Amino acid sequence: MSSVPAIVPARGGPLSGRRLFQPWSWALILVSLLLMVPVLTVFGSIFLPSDGVWAHLYSTVLVDYVSNSLILMVGVGICVLVLGIGPAWLVTMHRFPGRAVLEWALLLPLAMPAYIIAYTYTGLLDVSGPVQEGLRQLFGWSYGDYWFPEIRSLGGAVAMLSLVLYPYVYLLSRTAFTEQSVCVLEVSRTLGCKPRQAFSRVGLPLARPAIIAGLSLALMETLADYGTVQYFGVSTFTTGIFRTWFGLGSSSAAAQLSAFLMLFILILLLLENHSRRRARYHHTSSRYSRLPRLPLYGWKMAAALAFCLFPVVFGFLVPATQLLIWATQTWQATAGRDFYQLITHSLGLAALSSVIAVGLALFVTYGKRLQPNLLSRTAVRILGLGYAVPGTVIAVGVLIPFTWFDNSIDTWMRQQFDFSTGLLLSGTLFALVFAYQVRFLPVSISSVEAGLTKVKPGMDEVGRSMGYGPAQLLRRVHIPMLRGSLLTAGLLVFVDVLKELPATLILRPFNFNTLAVKTYELANEERLAAAAGPALMIVLAGIIPVILLSRTITRSRPGHVQRS
């Protein structure tokens, strides 16, 4: 009926390229803006007056906050690199007894929330704990006769956080090592590299983007940690934010502290990006053969085994056993009729959030790939900041715009129709899941992005030359190639949501509790033993995705041959 346009551009043709990508661009900016609102709300606070609170902070506690946070970061940084990269290389490139089990067992501490491992070790190692009690009885000592490392200290916090955060580095560096082409390694051999040199000259440099990604996840989580440092009485930036906010009653100064925290992260990320400069890490070939694992014997085998066992034993086995012992002591009290409900709430929220986070991450990173301009790059970078922001700050960052939105609509409706709509979004699960996205999207973005960078741009060109539009290209080419990364992203978010506490505490609707909330409530009443039941449940629920994760990585290797 209507007239046919004179020229119909061929789909995907050079003429239509720019126009076709416009919707992606717009949608990317829109979604990013929405998700950025909480972070920007916090940033916006920089310009609010804070009546002399800064002068007080500066003259009393600010130096402590900054120096403790820095020491914590450096300490955790070094420990997670050592605990993460070493075992990752060993289990990927070498053969020794127990290797197959360690491959996935090394991920188990990921299921252990930092605050729970802190409670557990305190129970074990504190002055009144069984270890020191045992020593005193064994040698007839009393307090003061002997030296024992203080668990509730800055050093203790470094140890606790490292033990549960190293899996990020392990996970991503192992993925990188697994995906490295054997050819590159073999070429290095022909050039005279010994196995150790293959690691330091080829494996490590090639895995650098993955290692940095893992490290920054671990460090961001370190900066955002509240539960552990607060429990250990270590004043960091995060505890300072809370204290300023609640103790001194200055929400603007508190928000300013968090804004500076974010600024700091942003600078770190930019520095890293700059240092990488124009280096790109694509794969040279898509033909892989099975990795030949070099067997280890004698003391080397023993050393490798000990190196890999250390984080598993102290990051998982010891605390899990202690939790189990407590849980059996207090089982009667915890296993009420509500327990089942707690489990379904926790699992449901985690599953829902991780599916959404994977979808959004794919959308955002792919959008950036289509239109790699300054705007989209900045958008992805700012979205990546949420992970370093303490959950409580994010929660308030969500509450402010959501309640404003709800109350504005309500006011308008009351004026126009004399009808109150009340709060539409605030206090619903929607707000909570939104907050999870702001907080955990960086995890899934970094995983999906790592996968996407490895797909050579040539693949896109080939796809487009076949007449695929962006959406088709994504569905037919990228998603199948990214399956491993997507699953990794989803599982990481799942485990993170399962462990999340502060945002859940503030944003959840009436009569809605999770395992993490329950654990916190009991532990906060200083009933550690009673908290063990729900804590153990979080760990157990986290183990399954963690094991799945490990299988995904092994399978993600193109040359992997499935054994029956």
Partner 1 sequence: MYRPPVLFLLLTAIGINAVAAEVNIYSARKEALIKPILEEFTVETGITVNLVTGGADELIKRLELEGRNSPADLLLTVDVGRLYRAKQADLLQPVHSETLSEVIPDHYRDPEDYWYGLSLRSRVIVYAKDRVDAADLSTYEALADPQWRNRICVRSSSNIYNQSLVASMVAHQGVEATEQWARGLVKNFARRPKGGDRDQIKAVAVGQCDLALVNTYYLAGMLESDIPAERQAAEKVAVFWPNQDGRGAHVNISGAGVTRAAQHTEEALRLLEFLAGKEAQSWYAEKNYEFPVRDDVPPSELLRQWGGFRADDIELEQLGIHNAEAVRLMDRAGWK
The residues that touch partner 1, with contacts defined as CB under 8 A, are 56, 60-61, 122, 126-128, 130, 132-133, 142-144, 152-153, 230-233, 235, 239, 242-243, 245-249, 251, 329-330, 333, 392, 395-396, 399-400, 403-404, 406-407, 410, 420-428, 430, 505-506, 508-513, 517-518, 521-522, 524-527, 529
Q: Between residues 2 and 416, which has the closer beta carbon with respect to partner 1?
A: 416
The values of phi and psi at residue 295, to 5°, are -75, 150
- CB atoms closer than 10 angstroms to residue 23: 12
Q: Supply the minimum distance, in Å, between the C-beta of residue 227 and partner 1.
A: 12
Q: Supply the minimum distance, in Å, between the C-beta of residue 324 and partner 1.
A: 15
Q: Between residues 26 and 331, which has the closer beta carbon with respect to partner 1?
A: 331
Separation of alpha carbons 337 and 428, rounded Å: 24
- For residue 53, give the nearest of 251, 223, 234 by alpha carbon: 251
Separation of alpha carbons 210 and 143, rounded Å: 47
- SS3 at position 344: helix
Q: Supply the minimum distance, in Å, between the C-beta of residue 32 and partner 1.
A: 22
Q: Which residues contact 358 (CB under 8 A, 6 or more apart)?
A: 444, 448, 486, 489, 490, 493
Q: Supply the minimum distance, in Å, between the C-beta of residue 122 and partner 1.
A: 8
Q: Between residues 26 and 58, which has the closer beta carbon with respect to partner 1?
A: 58
Q: Which two tokens stand for residue 271?
A: 């520095």
Q: Which two tokens stand for residue 295?
A: 């067997």
Q: Between residues 3 and 59, which has the closer beta carbon with respect to partner 1?
A: 59
- Name residue 294's beta-bridge partners: 94
Q: Between residues 222 and 239, which has the closer beta carbon with respect to partner 1?
A: 239
Q: Between residues 296 and 523, which has the closer beta carbon with respect to partner 1?
A: 523
Q: Between residues 350 and 517, which has the closer beta carbon with respect to partner 1?
A: 517
Q: Between residues 64 and 186, which has the closer beta carbon with respect to partner 1?
A: 64
Q: What is the DSSP string of 397-426?
A: HHHHHHHHHHHHHHHHHHHHHS-----SST
Q: Which two tokens stand for residue 441?
A: 């999207």
Query: In 16-153, at which residue ranges do the beta strands (DSSP E only) sit?
Result: 94-95
64-87 burial: b if 16+ Cβ within 10 Å, else e = bbeebbebbbebbbebbbebbbbb
Q: Between residues 219 and 522, which has the closer beta carbon with respect to partner 1?
A: 522
Q: Are 402 and 458 in contact (CB under 8 A)?
A: no
Rg of the chain on CA atoms, in Å? 25
- For residue 509, give the nearest of 433, 440, 441 by alpha carbon: 433
- CB atoms closer than 10 angstroms to residue 523: 23
